[in-house]
Amino acid sequence: MANDKFYTLPQLKYGYGDLAPYISEQQLMLHHQKHHQAYVNNANAILEKLDKARLENLELDLKAVLKELSFNLAGHILHSMFWQVLAPVNQGGGGEPSGELAQAIKDEFGGFARFKKEFSQTAISCEGSGWAVLCLDWHTGRPILMQIEKHNVNLFPAFRILMVLDVWEHAYYLDYKNERAKFVEAFWQVINWLEISNRFNKTSK
C-alpha cells in the first residue's frame, strides 16, 4: 500500500542469491516475499478493520483483534530487523564485532566465544517458533539476551534490539530441514556486525 499509514515490505540491501551457500536464493526469496509479506498484509488488513469499525461505529472483539495485530506487527518488525543484520561474505558478513560493541560483549559475557555460545543456545532451544535476540537494557547499559516465542511472547518492553535471528522453520527448512543448529551456525557466517555496532553505538550514547 502506498498510504504511509500502512506497512510495506522493505527492500533487501543485497540480492536473493548473495547469502548463499549459507542461505540459499530460494530460501531467502520465499522467506522475504511470502512469509514476511504475509505479516505485512495481515497487519494492514487489521488496521483497515479498525478504521472501518471506527468510521461506521461497529463493535469489535478488541481482545482478539489486538492480539492478532500484535502477532503480525511484531512479525513485520522483527523480520525487517533480521534482513538488516545479514550481509554477504564479500560485503563484510561474518567475523567478530569490534570497537565498543566488542568491549561490551567482553564485559558482559567474558568474551565473544561465550557470547556466541549463549546466543546460539538461545536460538537452538527456542520452544516451537521464535527468535533469539541481543538487546540493550537502557536501565543498566548491559547487553541482554532475549528469547522470543512466536513474534511477541517474552518480550522485554522498551529494550533496544541490536540483533535478531529468526528460528521459525520457514527461515531455514528448505536449506537445513529440521536441523536448526546447522542454520544457527550458518548465521554467524553472514552476520552484519557493522549494522549491529551502529545500533549499539547510537543506543549506548
Summarize pLDDT for 82-130 with one digit per residue, the tens: 999 999 999 999 999 999 999 999 999 999 999 999 999 999 999 999 9
Among 86, 106, 136, residue at a domain's last position: 86
Residues of the chain with pLDDT > 90: what percent? 92
Q: Are residues 143 and 178 in the same domain?
A: yes
Element (H or E) spanning 72, and its range?
helix 62-84
Q: How far apart are the first and last CA of the chain?
A: 35
The single-letter DSSP state of residue 20 is: T
- Residue 77 shares a structural domain with residue 139: no
> What is the predicted pLDDT for the residue at 2?
43
pLDDT digits (tens, 9 = 90+) for 21-69: 999 999 999 999 999 999 999 999 999 999 999 999 999 999 999 999 9
Domain containing 63 equals: 25-86
For residue 133, what is the DSSP state? E
Amino acid 16: pLDDT? 98
CB 75 within 8 A of CB 49: no
**Contact, 188 vs 128, CB < 8 A?**
no
Predicted confidence band at 1 (pLDDT cuts at 50, 70, 90)?
very low
Question: Domain of 43: which CATH number?
Answer: 1.10.287.990
Do 40 and 129 have their domain in common?
no
Q: Which residue has the cell 516451537?
A: 128
Range 167-191 average pLDDT: 98
For position 134, what pLDDT does the model report? 98
Give the total number of structural domains in the chain. Answer: 2
Alpha-carbon span 188 to 186, nearest angstrom: 5
Cis peptide before 88 (omega within 30 of 0): no
Cα–Cα dist 158/137, whole Å: 8
Cβ burial of 93 (10 Å; 0-12, 13-18, 19+) is: buried
pLDDT at res. 103: 97
Residue 141 belongs to a domain with what CATH number?
Answer: 3.55.40.20
What the block records as the C-alpha cell of 26 is 530460494
189 occurs within a structural domain? yes
pLDDT at site 3: 64
Say if residue 149 is in the same domain as residue 197. yes
Q: Please report the sign of the dihedral spanned by the C-alpha atoms of residue 19, residue 195, residue 106, residue 96.
A: positive
Please, what is the average pLDDT of the chain? 95
pLDDT at 4: 76
- Coil/strand/helix, residue 39: helix
Shared domain for 60 and 108, answered yes or no, is: no
